[in-house]
Amino acid sequence: MHVLVTGVAGFVGYHLAQRLLSQGIQVYGIDNLNDYYDVQLKKDRLALLNPQVGFRFQFLDLSDRPTLTQLFQDQNFDCVVNLAAQAGVRYSIQNPHAYVDSNLTGFVNLLEGCRHRQVRHLVFASSSSVYGANPKIPFSTCDNVDHPISLYAATKKANELMAYTYSHLYRLPMTGLRFFTVYGPWGRPDMAYFKFVKAIEAGEAIDVYNHGDMQRDFTYIDDIVEGVVRVMHQPPTSEGTAFVQQAPYRLYNIGNNQPVALKTFIEVIETALGKTAQKNYLPMQPGDVPITYADVDDLMQDVGFKPSTSIEVGIDRFVEWYRQYYS
């Protein structure tokens, strides 16, 4: 197989590329290496990918339509996995145009590339944030998601709608994956668990929003990658969809199916570090939700997999990586 992975220098993109390369799959990775968080971390991920047989990297922004169009003309991809996006819920409140350029314009450019080359399967990252403050739990892909509470969430919902439209119009197999709070080694420094570990290690206080009264469906990176790989190899057909207008399109949640209280999560981090955190209890931030909880029945039924890594195991692995990387 020849797979295009966008956002390959990112957290999930790096781990997915490593997995695919280990299976003898050719990976063509693109990334714009933006400075939303530490660029050196992205470069260090790439440094581990670049020497490997079967990997090729190109510095490319999805919003650069001419260059992306040329890439699709020059290459023949069996599958495209789109993990490139401007991430972050709170950042979208201060920097909306970054999300429009990357998550909307860039995604349409990618859809057009897939359409003109008749790519066999486009798998794209959505987010649990599309559920907004949905009071019904666990969150199901059958739930209404018309009330996002951040621009980031709105762009992810837009991605799902645009992908479905292209799937319906051009019969292109497409699968959207709603990721739930991904964590693990080589993770994103803007995520809470990363900030907690960094602060506690340095003897600094951590900010605990909503006074710790939140729950998250924390999902370990290896479980995310396993779900992506299984879905990649199973392009959807038009049959058996829940949509009135039949299309080769699917949506799945990839979450641990087991929300954890934020206070419990912090305790697990304290145990892994062998240190106690100083805590600043603060109100809920704009764009935050009180709970995320993934219904993964469809994923289990269709690809035979559900995430299962415990937070104790996952956090221990992250702390081990963190201490080694920043030593």
pLDDT at 265: 96
Q: What is the mean pLDDT of the chain?
A: 95
Cβ atoms of 61 and 32 within 8 Å: the answer is yes
- Span of 37-41, 207-211, 225-229, 282-286 with lowest mean pLDDT: 282-286
Asked if pLDDT for residue 225 goes beyond 80, the answer is yes
pLDDT at 240: 55
Give Cβ neighbours of residue 96 (< 8 Å, ≥ 6 apart). Answer: 151
Asked if pLDDT for residue 242 goes beyond 80, the answer is no
Beta bridge partners of 281: 208
Cβ atoms of 205 and 282 within 8 Å: the answer is no
152 is catalytic: yes
Whether residue 235 is preceded by a cis peptide bond, meaning omega within 30 degrees of 0, is: no
First to last CA, the chain: 38
Give Cβ neighbours of residue 136 (< 8 Å, ≥ 6 apart). Answer: 143
Q: Catalytic residue, from 152, 166, 193, 249: name it.
A: 152
Q: How many CB atoms lie within 10 A of CB 223?
A: 21
Backbone angles phi, psi at 241, to 5 degrees: -80, 160
Q: Looking up tokens 């392009």, which residue turns up?
A: 235
pLDDT at 186: 98
DSSP 92-115: HHH-HHHHIIIIIIHHHHHHHHHH
pLDDT over 90, % of the chain: 88
146-176: pLDDT as tens digits: 999 999 999 999 999 999 999 999 999 999 9
- Band of residue 245 on the pLDDT scale cut at 50, 70, 90: low
